[in-house]
C-alpha cells in the first residue's frame, strides 16, 4: 500500500509540474491559415476625391488595432481613453499606406517623404485642394505632415509634438494649419499605491441624483 501511495503522489506532482510548465510557456498563437486569411483580409481602400474630380487620395488601413497598440498605457477620464505617452486617443486604427490617383489618366502615384512605418490618420484636403494633411502617430509623439498634390511629396511641418486628445488639426487657409501642441514632455506618472486604503463603499439614501451615461466617467 505504501508503494501505491508513493506512485500516486509522484503522478500528481508530475501532472502539476506539466501544468505549471505549460502556463509559463503561454504565448500568442497563430491560427490556421484559412482563419487568418479570412480575419486579416485587407479592407477596401478608402477614397477621397477633390471637388474638381481631378485627383483621388486612396488610403489603406489595418483591419484591427495591433496587439502593440492595445498594450500601450491607457488613461480613462471624462469619457475619454487616452495614451499618456503621446497625448493621443488610445486604441486607434491607422492608415498604413496612401497614394494619389489622377482621374483623367487613371495613373496612380506613390507619395514620397512618407514616414516609415506609416501610422497615419485624419487625412484632409486644404481649402484649395492642392494639399493634403495627415497626422503620424508614434509611441512618443504625434507629428503633422502635408502632401503637395502636384509633386506627390510629403513634408513634416511641425516642430513640437501635437496634442490630439480632444481633437486633431484644422486647415486655417490654403497654406496654414492650426493644431494643439504639447508645451513640454510629459512628467513621470505618480506611483500607484500597492494596496487600496479602504474598501469601495456605495450608499443609497433614496435621493434623486444624476447618473453617468458614458463609459470611463
CATH (domain of 47): 2.40.128
Q: Quick check: is 148 in a domain? A: yes
Residue 26, in any domain of the structure:
no
Query: What's residue 104's pLDDT?
Result: 95
Q: Can you tell me the mean pLDDT for 177-199?
A: 81
Q: Which domain holds residue 79?
A: 43-178
**Distance from chain centroid for Cα 144:** 16
Q: Give the residue with greater pLDDT, 51 vs 3.
A: 51
Rounded to the nearest integer, the mean pLDDT of the chain is: 84
| Cβ atoms 102, 63 nearer than 8 A | no
Is the pLDDT reported for residue 217 higher than 80? no
Specify if 163 maps to a domain: yes
216 pLDDT higher than 90: no
Q: Which helix (H) or strand (E) holds 171?
A: strand 170-173
| 18 assigned to some structural domain | no
Output the CA torsion sign for 67, 68, 73, 77. negative
pLDDT in tens, 75-125: 888 888 989 889 999 988 899 999 999 999 999 999 999 999 999 999 999
Neighbours of 72 (CB within 10 A): 17
What DSSP designation does 112 have? B
Predicted TM-score (pTM) of this structure: 0.74
The pLDDT score that the predictor gives to residue 14 is 53
The beta strand positions in 2-157, using DSSP E, are: 46-49, 55-61, 75-77, 80-83, 88-89, 95-102, 108-110, 120-125, 131-137, 142-148, 153-156
Could you tell me if residue 77 is inside a domain? yes
Number of domains the chain is built from: 1
pLDDT tens digit string along 11-63?
A: 544 555 555 554 556 777 888 988 888 887 888 889 999 999 999 999 999 87
List beta partners, residue 155. 146
Stretch (H or E) spanning 178: strand 176-178
What integer is the mean pLDDT of 195-216?
Answer: 73
Whole-number pLDDT of residue 29: 81
Say how far apart CA 38 and CA 133 lie, in whole Å.
32
**159 domain-assigned:** yes
| Sign, CA torsion 169/156/122/81 | negative
- Is residue 197 one of the residues assigned to a domain? no
- pLDDT above 90 coverage of the chain, percent: 47
Query: What's the pLDDT score for residue 6?
Result: 47
Contact 176, 170 (CB under 8 A): no
Task: Say if 142 falls within a structural domain.
Answer: yes
More confident residue, 129 or 28: 129
- Cβ-count burial of 182 within 10 angstroms (0-12 exposed, 13-18 middle, 19+ buried)? middle
Give pLDDT, residue 7.
47
Amino acid at each position: 500500500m505504501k508503494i501505491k501511495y508513493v506512485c500516486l503522489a509522484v503522478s500528481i506532482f508530475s501532472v502539476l509540474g506539466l501544468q505549471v510548465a505549460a502556463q509559463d510557456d503561454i504565448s500568442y498563437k497563430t491560427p490556421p491559415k484559412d482563419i487568418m486569411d479570412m480575419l486579416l483580409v485587407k479592407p477596401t481602400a478608402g477614397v477621397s476625391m477633390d471637388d474638381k474630380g481631378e485627383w483621388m487620395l486612396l488610403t489603406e488601413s489595418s483591419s484591427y488595432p495591433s496587439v502593440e497598440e492595445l498594450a500601450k498605457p491607457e488613461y480613462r477620464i471624462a469619457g475619454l481613453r487616452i495614451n499618456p505617452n503621446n497625448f493621443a486617443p488610445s486604441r486607434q486604427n491607422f492608415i498604413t499606406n496612401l497614394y494619389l490617383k489622377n482621374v483623367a489618366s487613371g495613373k496612380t502615384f506613390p507619395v514620397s517623404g512618407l514616414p516609415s512605418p506609416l501610422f497615419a490618420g485624419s487625412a484632409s484636403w486644404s481649402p484649395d485642394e492642392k494639399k493634403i494633411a495627415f497626422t503620424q502617430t508614434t509611441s512618443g509623439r504625434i507629428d503633422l505632415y502635408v502632401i503637395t498634390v502636384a509633386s506627390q511629396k510629403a513634408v513634416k511641418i511641425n516642430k513640437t509634438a501635437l496634442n490630439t486628445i480632444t481633437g486633431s488639426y484644422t486647415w486655417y487657409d490654403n497654406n496654414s494649419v492650426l493644431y494643439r501642441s504639447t508645451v513640454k514632455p510629459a512628467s513621470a506618472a505618480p506611483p500607484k499605491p500597492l494596496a487600496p486604503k479602504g474598501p469601495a463603499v456605495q450608499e443609497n439614501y433614496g435621493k434623486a441624483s444624476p447618473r453617468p451615461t458614458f463609459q470611463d466617467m
